[in-house]
Structure 1
Amino acid sequence: MTEKLIYGIQQIGIGVENADKAFKWYAKTLGADALIFDDNNEATYMAKYMGGKSRKKRALLALNMQGGGGYEIWQYTNRKPSKPKNPFKLGDLGIQFSIIKTKNISKTFDRLKQLNENIISKISTEPDNGKSFYLKDPFDNILKIKEFNSFYDNKKLDVGGIYGTSIGVSNIETSLKLYKDILGYDKIEFDKTGVFEDLKTLNNGDKKFRRILLSHSEKRVGGFAKLFGDSQIELIQSLENTPDKIFEDRYWGDLGYIHLCFDIRNMDTLKNECEQKGVPFQVISSESFDMGEANGHWGYIEDFDGTLIEFIETHKVPLIKKLGININLKNRNPKKPLPNWMIKGMNLKRVKKFN
C-alpha cells in the first residue's frame, strides 16, 4: 500500500533557550505533560539551516493526552539562539502562532488570568463565529486559544493540544497549492478580506489582511489520527505593508516557531508528489532514524515563502523503556487506528512532578 496518508499535525517546533523551563510551562499551564521523547543527539541532517554544519541540541516532544498536536521544544546546547531581527508583526512570513483548543473559552481565560499569564487580548469572535483570545508564553511566542469541540479524551483540564496554526504568506493563491492540494486542507471555513476586530490587539493587527481558514473534508484515518484529531490551518496575507521573514538570517532552532510537523505514512509517495508540485524535499533522513527513544523517517520541505514543514513517518514510540514495551507502527495496516488502550498507555509518559 503506497497511498499517501496524513494522520494529522504531530507538533509545532519551538526554539527556546532553556528546554527544561519551557517544558515545565507547557506541561503545567497547557497540560502538555506527556514527555514522548527527550533527544540529545547532534543535529546533522539540518546543517544547511544551521550555518552549514551540524549542531548539538536537545529536543523534547510534549503532548497533551486530551488530544491535538504537541510541542517539540528545541534548544541549542552549544550556542546561544538568536532572536528575530525585527519585532513580530502580524502578516510576517512564517508561523505566526499555534492554535490551542479549549472546551470552554471563558474557563480557560479566567484560569490563565488567575495564573497571571500574559493574556494580550480579550475574548473575540472570529469570522467563522469561533471564540478566541491571544496569549504570550514566557518565551515571547504568541498562542491563540480557541474553542473547538474535537477532543480525544475528556479529562478535567480545560485545554487540549494544538489543532492548528496561523501562517503568514505572501500570496494565498500560490500557498494553496501546498496547503490545499498536497496537505489536504480543501475545505474553506472562511475567506475574508478586511480589517478584523479579533486581530487588533496584535502588532500590525489594525491593518488590512486577507485571511483564509482551511480544514479537511476527509477524516484522517490510521495510526495516531484519533489522538491528533481534526485540524485547521489559517493563512494570512498582508495587504498594506511588506512583511518580513520571521527567520531571515537566522538558524533553524533559533528562538520562535521553527517548523510545522505532520505525522504521515508513505514518505516516498509524498516526496514524489511534492517534487511534481514545486515544493521538493530539502532534507530527508535515513529510513529509520532514532529520535531519542522514538524512531522514524522524516524530511522537510519549504512552503513558497520558506516556512519549514516537517513530515515524520513514525515507526516506534516507547511506552515502558525498562520493559522494552513500544508502540510499533511500521508493520501495521496504515489505515487502521491504534487501539485506545495503546494510545492511553502513553499516559505512562506523563510527568507528574517538577523541580
Structure 2
Amino acid sequence: MSVKINGIQQLGVGVENLQKAWKWYREHFSMDIRMFEDVATAELMLPHTGGKPRERHAVLALNMQGGGGFEIWQHKGKKPERPGFEIQMGDLGINIGKLKTDNINKAYQKFSAEKLNILGDIAKDPAGNEHFYLKDNLGNLWEVKHEHEVFRREKSVNGGVLGAVIGVENLDESLKVYRDILKYDKVVYDKTDSFADFAVLPGGNGQFRRVLLKHSDVKNGAFSPFFGSSYIELVQALDRHPRNIYEGRIWGDPGFIHICYDINGMDEFREKVKQAGFPFTVDSARDSDSFDMGEAAGNFAYIQAPEGTLIEFVETHKIPILKKIGWFVDFRKRGHHPLPNWLLKMFRFKRVKDK
C-alpha cells in the first residue's frame, strides 16, 4: 500500500483537569462528539515522558462541522506542569491551534457575547484571509479563521481543527518535515516583516518570517470528507532567540502536545521518514499488528520535527459507530476509500450533552 496522508485527525491538548477542560470546549467550541475515551498507561511514549510510563486519561472530541478533533489529555500519575514562562510568538513548538468558521463575523459576535478572551478585532493575514485570535481559559491561543468548507451545518459558529501555527528555529530546516514529509506543497505566502495581526499576541511585535502551507491535492482517505483541508503556518522569530515551549516539561503537560495525521501505509511510511532523517521515535507496530485504543484500534507512531514539535501518525483499523449495538467499522476488511457522508454523519449520535 502506498503512503497516504488523509488529513489532520486531531490536535493534542494537555490539560490539568480533563472534565473541566472538555466541558469548556464543548460549551464554547462545540467539541462535543466523543469518538473515544480511555484511561490507560502511555507505555510506549518513554522517549517523550522522561523515560517513565505515564498514567493518563484521554478523550478524542470532534465537532460535527468537520475538521480535526481535540485529543484532550491529562496526566493521572503526576501533577501536570504548566510552562514556567509566558510563551511568546515564535517559541519552539505549537503556538496556536487553528479553528475553522464559515462565518467569521458570527463567530466573533458569539465569542464576544460569551466574554471570551478575544485578542483584538477581526484582522487579515498576509494573504487577505480574515481571522481573529482568542485565548481559552487554560491559556492556550486559538486562531479562528474563515474557511468555507463545512461538513455538516449546525448551530455552532465554528468547526474543528484547521491546522496550527508552529514556531521554528530554522524555517528551511523545518520545511523538510512539513513540506517534504507531510506534503504541504503549496505556499500560500512566505513573508518576512512585522505583522499587524500578530501585534495582539504575546511577543508578536517583533520581526518574523512567516510561511503558510497547504496541500495542493484533494484527500481521499476514509475520513477525509470530514477532516477537510488543512494549513500549517511556520513562524520564525528573527530578532530574538526563541525558547522551547516544553522546556523542563514532558509530553502531556498542559499546552499543545502534538499534531496528529490520519494515514495509510504505516510500514512504507516508517522507511520513508527514516530515509529522510526523521525516524519514528515511537512505533506501536513494533510489538503488535494492531494497538488497542480502548473503543478503537490501529497503529500509531511519532516523529519529531527539527524545532521539537511532536507529530503523530495514526493508521486506523477499527472505530465504533454505535457502540451500544456493536456497530464498528473495520478498515482492514472494507479498505480506506472515503466513508459515505451518511455514515460519517452518524457521529452526531456520539454527542455528549450537558444538562
TM-score range, shorter chain: over 0.9
Deviations 1:40-64, CA, capped at 9 Å, x for gaps? 0111001221121111110000000
For residue 269 of structure 1, give the secondary structure of its aligned residue in structure 2.
helix
Identity, % of aligned pairs?
A: 46
Tell me the residue number matched to 1:14: 13
Which residue of 305, 308, 317 corresponds with 2:307?
305
Q: Which residue of 1 aligns with 2:328?
A: 326
Q: Which residue in the other structure is 1:351 paired with?
A: 352
The letter for the 2-side match of 1:342 is L
Distance 1:245 1:20 in 2: 28
- Between the aligned partners of 1:115 and 1:44, the Cα distance in structure 2 is 40
Give 1:222's aligned amino acid: G
Tell me by how many angstroms 1:282 deviates. Answer: 0.3
For 1:9 and 1:283, how far apart are their aligned partners in 2? 19
AA matched with 2:280:
F
1 CA distance for matches of 2:109 and 2:64? 22
Give distance in 2, aligned partners of 1:344 and 1:36. Answer: 13
Q: In 2, Cα distance between the equivalents of 1:331 and 1:176?
A: 36
Output one character per residue of 1:300-337: Cα deviation in whole Å (capped at 9) or x when no partner: 00001111000000111112222111122222332x20
Q: So what's the TM-score if we normalise by structure 2?
A: 0.97
**Stretches of 4+ moved more than 3 A in 1?**
none
Aligned residue number for residue 129 of structure 1:
128
Opposite residue 33 of structure 1, the aligned amino acid is D
Aligned to 1:185: 184
Deviates more, 1:168-177 or 1:295-304: 168-177
What amino acid sits opposite 1:352 in the alignment?
A: K
Could you tell me whether the CA contact under 8 Å between 1:263 and 1:313 is conserved in 2? yes
- 1:144 maps to 143
Task: Please give the secondary structure, in 1, of the residue aligned with 2:332.
Answer: coil
C-alpha distance in 2, partners of 1:338/1:329? 10
- Confirm or deny: 8 A CA contact 1:327 1:342 kept in the other structure: no
Show the counterpart of 2:296.
294
My pick for the range that moved more, 301-310 or 150-159, is 150-159
Could you tell me which residue of structure 1 aligns to residue 283 of structure 2?
A: 284
- Which deviations, in whole Å up to 9, do the C-alpha atoms of 1:111-168 show, x marking residues without a partner? 0111111112211111011111111111110000010111111222221111110101
Q: Which residue of 2 aligns with 1:93?
A: 92
Secondary structure of the structure 2 residue equivalent to 1:28: helix
Equivalent pair of 1:94/1:246 in contact (CA under 8 Å): yes
Structure 1 segment 190-201 matched on structure 2, within 5 A? 190-201=189-200
Displacement, 1:353? 2.4
| 1:226-254 deviation per Cα after TM superposition (whole angstroms, max 9, x unaligned) | 10000110000110000000012211000
Residue 34 of structure 2 corresponds to which residue in structure 1? Answer: 35
Does the 8 A contact of 1:13 with 1:74 survive in 2? Answer: yes
Secondary structure of the 2:334 match is coil
Provide the rounded CA distance (Å) in 1 between the counterparts of 2:354 and 2:329. 25
What per-residue deviation string (whole Å, max 9, x for no partner) do you get for residues 259-284 of structure 1? 00001111111111111111110001
Question: Residue 47 of structure 2 contacts residue 281 of structure 2 at CA under 8 Å; is this kept in 1?
Answer: no
Question: Aligned Cα RMSD in Å?
Answer: 1.0
1:66 aligns with 2:68: no
Q: Write the letter of the residue equivalent to 2:310.
A: L
Cα distance in 2 between the residues matched to 1:50 and 1:182: 25
For residue 351 of structure 2, what is the amino acid of its counterpart?
Answer: R
Q: Where do 5+ consecutive residues of structure 1 fail to align?
A: none
Q: How far apart, CA to CA, are the structure 1 residues paired with 2:2 and 2:51?
A: 34
Deviations 1:204-224 (A, max 9, x none): 101000000001111111210
Match of 2:76 in 1: 77
SS of the residue aligned with 2:217? coil
1:294 to partner: Cα distance: 1.0
Q: How many angstroms apart in 2 are the aligned matches of 1:263 and 1:154?
A: 23
Aligned match of 1:205: 204
The AA in structure 2 aligned to 1:340 is: N
Any unmatched runs of 5+ in structure 2?
A: none
Aligned residues: 352
State how 1:163-174 maps to structure 2 within 5 Å.
Answer: 163-174=162-173
Superposition pairs of residues 41-52 of structure 1, within 5 angstroms: 41-52=40-51
Query: Distance between the aligned counterparts of 2:94 and 2:221, measured in 1?
Result: 27
Q: Distance in 1 between matches of 2:49 and 2:62?
A: 26
Q: Secondary structure at the match of 1:200?
A: helix
